[in-house]
Structure formats: C-alpha cells, structure tokens
Amino acid sequence: MKTMRSIFAIVVVLALCVTAGLAVIGQAENNNTEDFHVQSAADSEQALSIPEIAQVGRSSVVAIETETKVVYNNNYYNSPFDSLFGYGFGFGSPYGYGSPYGNGRDSSYTKKAAGSGVIISEDGYILTNNHVISGADSITVYVQNQGSNEETTYEATLVGASESHDVAVLKIEATGLTPVVFGNSDDLVIGEPAIVIGNPMGTVHGSVTSGIISATEHEMTIDESTVNAIMTDASINPGNSGGGLFDQYGHMVGLVYAKSVSVQLEGIGYAIPSNDVVEYVENIINHRDTYEAQTNGSKIMLGITITDVTEAIAAQYSMPIGVYITDVSSMSAAERAGLQRGDIIVGFAGEKVTCADDLNAIKAKQTPGDVVDIVIDRNGNEMTLKLVVPQPTDVELTKPETNRNDR
C-alpha cells in the first residue's frame, strides 16, 4: 500500500501552498490619478532565439528575499528551515503539541526565504505570487542593471494581493525600469517553445531554462481554490515562484507558481495564464476599493492543498475515492487537527467526501469554533480526527496598514 501511495504521490503536483488566513498586509497606498495598464504585445512580431529572449527577459525579472519574524510556543516545534516559498524543507515536531521537549514559553526566530518577481512598470510596480511575500516583515528586491551583471537593491512595500489567485503587487522607489511585455496566453499552442526566468533556490538570480508548452488548461485545486494553469517542462525549482514564463517572442505568458516535487517528474511546472494575471494586477492597482467591495468575501480556509482521487486513480492505485492532501500549511487548522500530506479525506462533519467540490460545500455550512470529525485514510487505515472550524478569512485583496508588527 505504501508503494502504491508513493507511486501516486509522484503524479500529484503540488501548488506552492497558499497559507491559511489573511494575505499579507502592505504599507504602500496607491495614489495614482490615472488608470494603470500593463504593457501588451503588438499583433505581429518576429520569433526570437533563446539568448535573445533571455537578454530581454532578465532585465524585467527580479529576485526577491523576505524576512519574517515567527513567534511560537515551545510546546510545539516549527523549524526555521521549514520552507523556501512553499517548498517543504523543514521538519515538524514528531511529538506534536504538549511535547515534553518544550518549555511552554514563547520564542521567536527570523525566517528568511527567496523567490522571484517581474517588473510591470517603469516606475517600480512589481508582480509576484502572494505566497512569495505572505507574512513577510521585510521584502528586498534585486533588479539587474541594464547592460551589466550588477544589481541594485531596493526595499519593497506591498500594494495589494489576492490570496485565492496567488498574485501580489509590490512597489519599489525606482524609475527607468524595463517592464515585461504581456503576451496573449489564449494564443498558446501545445508544443511551442517556453522559457522560464527566475531565481531558483534563491541563489541564481536571472536563471534561464527552456522547454515547451506542455498543456494550456490544467485544472488544479490550491488551498480549496481551483485554477486553470499552463503546464511546461522548462525546469522550475524552489525560488522560481513569481518569475516569468515567456513565449518565443519574449512576451510573458504566465506567472510561475508551481512545480512537481517528484524527482521523476523534475521540470514539470505550472504558471498562471497572463490573461488572468492582467485582470488581477490592474484591479489591484487601479480599483482597490471597488474591486474589494465586489469580490472580497469570507471563506473558511483549512490550510490544505488538495487534488481529487478519482475513480480511475482509486482503481489503479488501490486507494479510496476522496480528496488527497498534497500539502498542509504551517499552524493551520488542518495541521492542528493532525492532518498530514498523503492523507485522503473521505468524510467531513458527518458527510461523505468524494471530491474537492464536496469538501468545499460541506465546509461552507460549518460554524466557526465548532469541532467536527474528519474521516481520513492514512496508509490504508481509516481514522477520525477532530478539527476546530477556523474563523473565515478574507481571501481577496488586502488593504495596507501603517503598522504590520501588531498582527
């Protein structure tokens, strides 16, 4: 059974987890009097070579580093090495809550992480994934100077973010930058060239990898939100999140946000289509209040990334039909309940769960603070866990605050 689960895990693609709760709260107010629009591609342009695309794209893709102060109780251990923008390099306590190895006092550490972003305006607007900067107390951006390998360092502030769409807009005080040119992701053809530029492992600024467009509408469920993603076999690694996926004309056609964690599937990665990104970005910058009033809503977030175990998959791998957990967010309601990556949810609050839609519908009926049963299959053994239904969170745009240290 464990072998079958390992095989299944190979084909499961992890999104970079969207952490439970509010998206990062920024500090920069938008005082523009004119509407902002991203730079779009012309109708007809000549295809470029990979070196030409790299030269164009690297000046528009930035490296990002963040620092986050993490406060925890010593009755629960959470490693300061637990993530590099959503990829799990850390180790949770094998003893869980109430560990005899903790002293029960609050402690803290500074967690550092690294990722990527893309310049979308000459005056310093930068697009990235929300999970890249979520919870950060400081955000540093490295911009490559034109015509050289040197970089200029800037401190960035958050303009706004959409957690459920995993996009965020930053602002640095700079002028004369080179913004990306957005291509039409609807025109992508499976098999055409694809180039990824970013900051893999947080150490190789402006790294370039190439491949093809493998699929254009791959449905994925990220922290209970479903998105249609672009798939590519251009190598994507931790730290590439928030970087650009470029087409053969040097136009950005996707915002990189996920990859396979399997060695066997190394290089298979995903991006948010540029046509979707444009709408979110322009609304974040131009219409914060209006957009927030129209789309902002409360949602109970368990803090899990999931994918369906369909009848075909269940039959092939001798697994129950349900919802397979590919990741659990740190300190989330799911983690506190004891849910783990690899668990299959088959029941929630007394109702049967066969797919993500079932889970979302049942979850929406719950009252925050209630304790509900979650029935899971773990390594072939069915078990029931108790979960405290968390308070609903606003998962769309977040408003800046002047003080982010009182969270």
* pLDDT at 9 (0 to 100): 52
pLDDT digits (tens, 9 = 90+) for 129-176: 988 888 788 999 999 887 777 899 999 999 888 777 788 999 999 999
Residues of the chain with CATH 2.40.10.120: 2-67+113-293
Q: Is the pLDDT of residue 35 over 70?
A: yes
Contact call for residues 249 and 226 (beta carbons, < 8 A): no
Q: Which of 83, 121, 131, 308 is catalytic?
A: 131
Beta bridge partners of 378: 381
Q: Which segments of 223-315 are extended strands (E)?
A: 225-232, 244-246, 252-259, 269-273, 298-299, 304-309
In which residue are the tokens 């993603």 written? 229
Catalytic-residue membership of 241:
yes
**Cα–Cα distance list, 218 to 113, 229, 258, 269 (Å):** 28, 5, 12, 11
Strand partners, 323: 308, 345
Q: Concatenated DSSP letters for 176-190?
A: S--PPPB--GGG--T
What is residue 299's predicted lDDT score, i.e. its pLDDT?
Answer: 66
Ranges for all domains in the chain classified under CATH 2.30.42.10: 302-391
* pLDDT average, residue stretch 90-117: 56
Burial of 151 (0-12, 13-18, 19+ CB in 10 A): middle
Residue 152: its pLDDT value, please? 94
Angle 229-230-232 from CA coordinates, rounded to 5°: 135
Predicted confidence (pLDDT) at residue 84 exceeds the cutoff of 70: no
Specify the pLDDT at position 383. 95
Return the closest-CA partner of residue 393 out of 157, 137, 114, 130: 130
pLDDT at 98 over 60: no
Which residue from 248, 252, 294 is spatially nearest to 277, judged by alpha carbons?
A: 252
Tell me the mean pLDDT in the region 288-305: 57
- Cβ neighbour number for residue 173 with a 10 Å cutoff: 11
What is the pLDDT at residue 153? Answer: 95
Active-site hit among 60, 214, 241, 332: 241
Residues 183-195 pLDDT 10s = 999 999 999 999 9
pLDDT digits (tens, 9 = 90+) for 235-292: 888 889 999 999 999 999 999 986 554 434 556 788 999 998 888 888 888 865 443 4
Q: Determine the pLDDT at residue 365.
A: 86
User: What pLDDT, on the 0 to 100 scale, is given for residue 1?
Assistant: 55
Average pLDDT, the chain: 76
| Residue 166 among the catalytic residues | yes
Say if residue 330's pLDDT is above 80. no
Structure tokens at 267: 């290089």
CATH of 2-67+113-293, one of 2.60.40.10, 2.40.10.120, 2.40.50.140, 1.10.8.50: 2.40.10.120
Residue 265: predicted pLDDT: 53
Arithmetic mean of pLDDT, 381-402: 67
Q: How many CA atoms lie within 13 A of 378 on its CB side?
A: 11
Contact criterion met (CB below 8 Å) for 373 and 386:
yes
Contact present, 344 and 376 (Cβ < 8 Å) = yes
Taking a C-beta distance cutoff of 8 angstroms, is the pair 353, 372 a contact?
A: no
- What pLDDT score does 50 carry? 93
Residue 231, pLDDT > 80, answer yes
Is residue 95 scored above 70 in pLDDT? no
- pLDDT number for residue 160: 86
Question: Considering 60, 165, 166, 185, which one is annotated as catalytic?
Answer: 166
Phi/psi for 106 (5° steps) reads -70, 140
The pTM for the full model equals 0.61
Cβ atoms within 10 Å, residue 295: 16
Provide the β-strand partners of residue 382: 377
Q: How far is Cα 202 from Cα 132, in angstroms, rounded to an integer? A: 11
**Which of 242, 209, 236, 235 lies closest to 65, judged by CA?**
242
Give the tens place of pLDDT for each residue, 43-70: 657 899 999 999 889 999 999 999 887 6
Per-residue model confidence as pLDDT tens digits over 352-380:
999 888 898 898 888 888 899 999 999 99
Mean of pLDDT values over 88-95: 30
Is residue 102 over pLDDT 80? Answer: no
Give the per-residue pLDDT at 51.
94
Residue 80 pLDDT > 70: no
Query: May I ask the CATH class of domain 302-391?
Result: mainly beta
Residue 21 pLDDT greater than 80, yes or no: no
